[in-house]
């Protein structure tokens, strides 16, 4: 019996022993994280157009190879269709695609390199992609999806299928139904020829106020008793029951409700709303954050969610209803179906596209207080801003303040800035060196603060700098020299701090440095020489230089007899 027990124990423990030995013998390697994988709201259009464009050069005899061989009908845009049922894939490359017949049914996808217009009634579409603009007139039925790189205009009585998306803006008329919408700007119950008056009709203060995290529990009525002298309610509200925000109130926090939520006329919520039951936004109510509910959502006339150049989500397990004059910035998703109600307004003139939206390209602040009260999302993801001026007296660039602002070229920082926090300028691909960098009183640069700033250039950093965070300047491929003065106070260089700076040739680190992290100079393939104090030769980022940068000449300097303070 004992023998059998021993055999059982050996069989049970052997896999564990092998696993332990295997992992102890392995040498740890840094996990490579791909940061370009994101959920793409325009997945259908983007993936379909990529397939078509890749296969077009090989198209022969009216056949194209996508996921399988497809028969193609190339059209000049105004072609007369013999049969109402069109079974071929449609490709329009040289002219606007605009069918001139009613009651057509396109059973396969449509790809257009120019504008695509469906102005005749009772046209059924499987899916359509336009590399330019897209227009649906009246009574168009979409079975699956539609996507355009630029504006999408939809008039009345259309069924918009599973998803309609746009890379620019989406303007939808009345008596339409949908399931999912996406665009940086969505105008619902509006006409394309009408101007976008969202910003004109809102209190300008709400766009520069911070979202507060002070909590109030089980308050059902947010009324004048909670308003501060500044005219706001600086709380996040958490309640087991229903919540009502009365007229003209500005609530600076979120709302979490186990019941229903009612935002009354002209009231504003700066944070998010999460509810188990229905959410009602009355006339001209505004929510700047996301809206999620297990119930239904109603947007009365003029009620809106989000703000320009920031993407939010409006999601309902039930239905979403719009009365008209509504603006949403980002996603609208309704499992129970969405609709824009009928209106008595007549269409004025002919079908048309909306004008191009106007985006703020330069960010300025009235004063230091306005800068310090920017909400926690900052300007992240703003793809239009090109220049930002930080006011005098500012000491901190907050976390993710300008994260993924991929058009940002210039940032003017005052000498008072001492801290640049994590991800502050990460993925600002075209950001160049700011003026007088050496004059800053900079003390620390946070994790990934300038990661993937491909155009960033500098030779030296301020003497006051003591800490460079992990991956702070990773993939800054335009940096070719990194020279610190002997009076520098730098003590710590974080893991991966300069990883991937493949054009970096020369490095001089001061005697004050005490720590150089793992892979600090990994993939710096052009590094030719580096000079460091002998006392840090065993630091991880220095000890691995011979392996990671085999062409680099490493010079170890003797430690000074008198250490710097």
- All residues at 6 or more sequence positions from 255 whose CB lies less than 8 Å from its CB, including other chains: 236, 237, 243, 245, 261, 269, 271, 272, 273, 274, 275
Model pLDDT, residue 255: 95
Same domain, 71 and 124: yes
DSSP structure class, residue 447: T
- 208 and 320 within one domain: yes
162 and 219: one domain?
no
pLDDT at 433 (0 to 100): 62
pLDDT of the residue at 350: 82
Residue 311 within any structural domain of the chain = yes
Q: Which domain holds residue 299?
A: 199-340
Residue 94 lies in a domain: yes
In a domain, 99, yes or no: yes
User: What pLDDT is recorded for position 349?
Assistant: 60
Residues 234 and 157 in one domain: no
Verify that 225 and 333 share a domain, yes or no.
yes
- Mark whether 135 and 208 lie in a shared domain: no
Q: Give domain status of residue 240, yes or no.
A: yes
Count of structural domains within the chain: 2
Contacts of 290 (CB under 8 A, 6+ apart): 272, 273, 312, 313, 314, 315
Count CA atoms closer than 13 A to 169's CA, side-chain side.
21
Whether residues 94 and 152 fall in one domain: yes
* Helix, strand counts (H, E) of the chain: 5, 44
Q: Burial of 134 by CB count in 10 Å (0-12 exposed, 13-18 middle, 19+ buried)? A: buried
C-alpha 234/C-alpha 252 separation (Å) is 5
Tell which of 340, 369, 385 closes a domain.
340
Q: What pLDDT was estimated at residue 18?
A: 66
Distance CA 73, CA 231 (A): 62
- Cα 178 from Cα 242, distance rounded (Å): 28
Residues 157 and 247 occupy one common structural domain: no
**248, part of any domain:** yes
Q: Within this chain, do residues 55 and 107 fall inside the same structural domain, yes or no? A: yes
Same domain (yes/no): 143, 98: yes
| Whole-angstrom distance, CA of residue 166 vs CA of residue 148 | 5
Q: Report the pLDDT value the prediction gives residue 470, as an integer from 0 to 100.
A: 93
304 and 328 Cβ atoms separated by less than 8 Å: yes
In a domain, 505, yes or no: no
C-alpha 521/C-alpha 545 separation (Å) is 7
Cα atoms in the Cβ-side hemisphere of radius 13 Å centred on 13: 6
Report yes or no on 318 lying in a domain.
yes
Contact 249, 266 (CB under 8 A): no
Spatial neighbors of 43 by CB under 8 A, at least 6 apart, are none
Name every residue whose Cβ is closer than 8 Å to that of residue 47 and which is 6 or more positions away in sequence: none
8 Å CB contact between 125 and 22: no
Q: Which residue from 362, 358, 321 is spatially nearest to 200, judged by alpha carbons? A: 358
Domain boundary among 313, 340, 367: 340
pLDDT tens for the chain, residues 1 to 565: 666 777 777 776 777 776 666 555 554 444 444 444 456 889 999 999 999 999 888 888 888 888 888 898 888 766 678 889 999 999 999 889 999 899 999 999 999 999 999 999 999 999 999 999 999 999 999 999 999 999 999 999 999 999 999 999 999 999 999 999 999 999 999 999 898 889 888 888 888 787 887 888 988 998 888 888 877 899 999 999 999 999 999 999 999 999 999 999 999 999 999 999 999 999 999 999 999 999 999 999 999 999 988 889 999 999 999 999 999 999 999 999 999 998 776 666 688 888 877 778 888 888 888 888 776 777 888 888 999 999 999 999 999 899 989 999 999 988 899 999 999 999 999 998 666 677 788 999 999 999 999 999 888 889 999 999 999 999 999 999 999 999 999 999 999 999 999 999 999 999 999 999 999 999 999 999 999 999 998 999 999 988 888 888 999 988 764 444 3
Residues 93 and 163 in one domain: yes
Q: What is the DSSP string of 245-303?
A: E-TT-EE-S-EEESS-EEE-TT-EE-S-EEESS-EEE-TT-EE-S-EEESS-EEE-TT-
Nearest residue to 298 (alpha-carbon basis) of 318, 275, 320 = 320
**Residue showing tokens 């129970």:** 336
| The last residue of a domain, from among 168, 189, 220 | 168
pLDDT of residue 313: 94
With H, G, I as helix, E, B as strand and everything else as coil, classify residue 64: strand
Do 220 and 296 share a domain, yes or no? yes
pLDDT value at residue 133:
96
**220 conformational bin, left if phi > 0, alpha if psi -120 to 50, beta if neither:** alpha
Is residue 95 in a domain?
Answer: yes
């Amino acid at each position: 019996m004992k023998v059998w027990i021993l055999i059982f124990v050996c069989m049970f423990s052997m896999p564990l022993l092998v696993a332990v030995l295997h992992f102890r013998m392995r040498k740890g390697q840094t996990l490579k994280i791909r940061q370009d994988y994101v959920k793409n709201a325009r997945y259908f259009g983007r993936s379909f157009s990529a397939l078509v464009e890749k296969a077009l050069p090989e198209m022969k005899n009216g056949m194209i190879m996508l996921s399988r061989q497809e028969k193609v009908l190339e059209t000049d845009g105004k072609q007369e269709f013999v049969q109402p049922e069109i079974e071929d894939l449609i490709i329009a490359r040289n002219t606007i695609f605009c069918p001139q017949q009613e009651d057509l049914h396109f059973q396969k996808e449509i790809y257009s390199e120019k504008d695509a217009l469906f102005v005749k009634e009772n046209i059924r579409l499987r899916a359509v992609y336009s590399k330019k603009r897209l227009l649906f007139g009246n009574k168009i039925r979409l079975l699956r999806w539609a996507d355009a790189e630029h504006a999408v205009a939809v008039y009345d009585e259309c069924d918009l299928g599973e998803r309609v998306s746009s890379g620019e803006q989406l303007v939808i008329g009345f008596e339409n139904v949908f399931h999912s919408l996406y665009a940086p700007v969505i105008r619902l119950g509006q006409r394309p020829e009408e101007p976008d008056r969202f910003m004109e009709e809102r209190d300008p203060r709400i766009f520069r106020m911070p979202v507060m995290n002070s909590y109030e529990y089980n308050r059902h009525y947010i009324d004048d008793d909670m308003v501060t002298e500044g005219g706001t309610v600086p709380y996040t509200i958490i309640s087991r029951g229903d919540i009502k925000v009365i007229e003209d109130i500005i609530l600076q926090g979120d709302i979490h409700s186990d019941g229903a939520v009612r935002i009354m006329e002209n009231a504003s919520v700066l944070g998010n709303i999460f509810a188990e039951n229905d959410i009602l936004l009355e006339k001209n109510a505004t929510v700047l954050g996301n809206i999620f509910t297990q119930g239904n959502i109603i947007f009365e006339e003029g009620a809106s969610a989000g703000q320009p150049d920031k993407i939010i989500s409006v999601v309902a397990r039930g239905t979403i209803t719009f009365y008209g004059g509504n603006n949403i910035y980002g996603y609208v998703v309704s499992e129970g179906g969405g609709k824009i109600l009928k209106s008595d307004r007549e269409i004025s003139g002919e079908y048309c596209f909306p004008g191009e939206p106007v985006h703020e390209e330069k960010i300025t602040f009235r004063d230091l207080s306005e800068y310090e009260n920017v909400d926690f999302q900052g300007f992240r993801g703003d793809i239009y801003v090109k220049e930002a001026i930080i006011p005098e007296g500012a000491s901190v660039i907050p976390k993710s303040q300008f994260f993924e602002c991929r058009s940002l070229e210039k940032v003017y920082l005052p000498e008072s800035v001492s801290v640049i926090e994590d991800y502050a300028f990460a993925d600002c691909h075209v950001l160049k060196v700011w003026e007088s960098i050496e004059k800053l009183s900079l003390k620390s640069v946070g994790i990934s603060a300038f990661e993937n700033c491909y155009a960033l250039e500098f030779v030296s950093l301020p003497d006051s700098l003591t800490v460079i965070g992990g991956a702070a300047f990773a993939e800054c491929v335009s940096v070719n020299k990194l020279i610190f003065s002997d009076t520098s106070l730098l003590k710590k260089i974080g893991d991966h701090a300069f990883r991937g700076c493949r054009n970096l040739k020369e490095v001089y680190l001061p005697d004050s440095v005490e720590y150089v992290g793992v892979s600090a100079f990994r993939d710096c393939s052009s590094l030719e020489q580096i000079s460091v104090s002998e006392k840090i030769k065993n630091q991880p980022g220095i000890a691995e230089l011979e392996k990671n940068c085999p062409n680099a000449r490493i010079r170890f300097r003797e430690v000074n007899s008198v250490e710097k303070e």
